[in-house]
Amino acid sequence: MPRTTRPEYDAVIIGSGPNGLSAAVALAREGWKTLVVEAADTIGGGTRTKELTLPGFHHDVCSAVHPTGIASPFFRSLKLEDHGLRWMHPEVPLAHPLDGGRAAVLHRSLDETADGLGRDRIAYRVLFESLVEHAQVLYPSIFTPIGIPRHPVLMARFGIPAAMPAEWLARSLFTSDEARALFAGNAAHCVLPLHHLLTSAIGVLLQLSAHAVGWPVAEGGSQSIASALASVLKKHDGEIVCGWPVKTMAELPAARAYLFDTSPAVMSRISGEALPHGYRQRLAAYRHGPGIFKVDYALSQPVPWTHEACRKAGTVHVGGTLDEIAASERDAFEGRHSERPFILVGQQSLADPTRAPAGKHTLWAYCHVPAGSTVDMEQRITSHIERFAPGFRDTILARHTMNCPQVEAYNMNYLGGDIVGGMADVTQILTRPVARLNPYSTPNPKLFICSASTPPAGGVHGMCGFNAANAVLRRVVF
């Protein structure tokens, strides 16, 4: 067993992703002696930054853009800015180029966005205006497990459109290519075919957040989020040990509670006889969705996008129309590799000059592919960016790629390359990781799960960890 300072703790947390660190902080600030154990050599899980291509180019290995981070009620309560975190906002949160030099543009301002959508201006306002106005009231309900809402009318304004299939909602509400494509691109973050129920939820959340809080990146890279959380933990005397891939419960020091920032499968493996056979079978039956193929580029100059807004945007959705995006997402789900995949592109160095040497830039891009895929999508991604940025290829100095097995090797939570902690379809979003009144608890009163495989699911917000810590505080008998 690697060295820890004490033989026993109040809580041991397995995994130092944003949820593991958040769970640790939430317990440590209540006076609990906490220990976080991490398999990798550095903390952070999906919030790490590395020089993946060339010296001086700092790439976000996983998460990059943080609307859920800046909106998170728990992160806000911690005042992470006092621990070195600085949110950097791009001039434009998101641009979505279309053929013919057109683009849909998601601005910080709701008015500016709506006006840019022409004949869909009123429909856009009807969907988003009151959600944006009451976002700070809405976020705590969105980020907790489904229960009796504290603001039922407001929650219904969010929940009714959120429950709809994104393809249906976009076609019913909007008539322009721009408004439909903008919504489809945001909804596609759910990694499901867009005709599925509930696929609008992430689209509505992301678009309202662009107006309510923005889509920032973290100065210096997403690693700064993990470092800030670790700094808060240290302030409360929490401990972290890296380089410790936990395999069995027997390796861990005694504790009153164990929290798993892991996939259900890893929790089942580690816990062994500590959990009943039937419960472990239910964990093993947890379903994962498509994976990703990712490319990080080092660039000699900014991407030469045809549309001016794309040159100012922190995120660019490359995928064309609603029909094209829907087809690409269906392909990944049904085991095919799209010829022109929908790509999520991050231009962090536009808002944060620390990411690359002066005048040079980083670019972060990934597309969804069938789970476990080893197909090299780099050329397809590069060509698809060229569709809206002719000459892009000539700006590339170096690139680094990750296919699904490499994503999983990097972080064992990303099974088959699934980066969102498990399929978020209608059954599993309501019952993750298994159907249970308190989703964070297990039949063993000492064992809890706190990863993105619990509500409110994937993204860097720490709310799975915070909610799990609250479950621990309510449940464990002193």
Ligand X SMILES: Cc1cc2nc3c(=O)[nH]c(=O)nc-3n(C[C@H](O)[C@H](O)[C@H](O)COP(=O)(O)OP(=O)(O)OC[C@H]3O[C@@H](n4cnc5c(N)ncnc54)[C@H](O)[C@@H]3O)c2cc1C
Q: Which residues of the chain form contacts with ligand X (CB under 6 A)?
A: 14-20, 37-40, 45-47, 62-66, 68, 245-246, 261-262, 266, 270, 292, 294, 366, 411-414, 419-421, 451-452, 458-460, 464
Q: What are phi and psi of 314, to 5 degrees?
A: -70, -35
Nearer to ligand X, 116 or 421 (CB): 421
Contact by Cβ (8 Å): 292, 367 = yes
3-state class of 363 per DSSP? strand
Nearer to ligand X, 173 or 365 (CB): 365
DSSP H or E stretch at residue 192: none
Q: What is residue 267's DSSP assignment?
A: H
**Distance of alpha carbon 16 from alpha carbon 21, whole angstroms:** 5
Nearer to ligand X, 117 or 419 (CB): 419
- What is the strand order of the sheet 92-98 is part of? 102-106, 92-98, 313-318, 343-346, 361-369, 291-299, 396-402
Q: How many residues does the chain have?
A: 478
Output the smallest distance, CB 152 to ligand X, in A. Answer: 28
Strands 291-299 and 361-369: antiparallel
Output the smallest distance, CB 120 to ligand X, in A. Answer: 26
Closest CA to 21 of 477, 468, 476, 442: 468
Output the smallest distance, CB 36 to ligand X, in A. Answer: 9
Nearer to ligand X, 154 or 371 (CB): 371
Output the smallest distance, CB 68 to ligand X, in A. Answer: 5
Nearer to ligand X, 110 or 240 (CB): 240
Nearer to ligand X, 40 or 163 (CB): 40
Contact by Cβ (8 Å): 222, 48 = yes
> Buried (b) or exposed (e) across 429-441, using 16+ Cβ within 10 A?
beebbbeeeebbb
Output the smallest distance, CB 264 to ligand X, in A. Answer: 11
Nearer to ligand X, 304 or 372 (CB): 372
DSSP H or E stretch at residue 169: helix 166-173
Output the smallest distance, CB 394 to ligand X, in A. Answer: 26
Output the smallest distance, CB 122 to ligand X, in A. Answer: 31
Nearer to ligand X, 117 or 338 (CB): 338
Q: What are phi and psi of 113, to 5 degrees?
A: -65, -50
Q: Which two tokens stand for residue 405?
A: 């097995």
Output the smallest distance, CB 15 to ligand X, in A. Answer: 2
Residue 429 one-letter amino acid? I
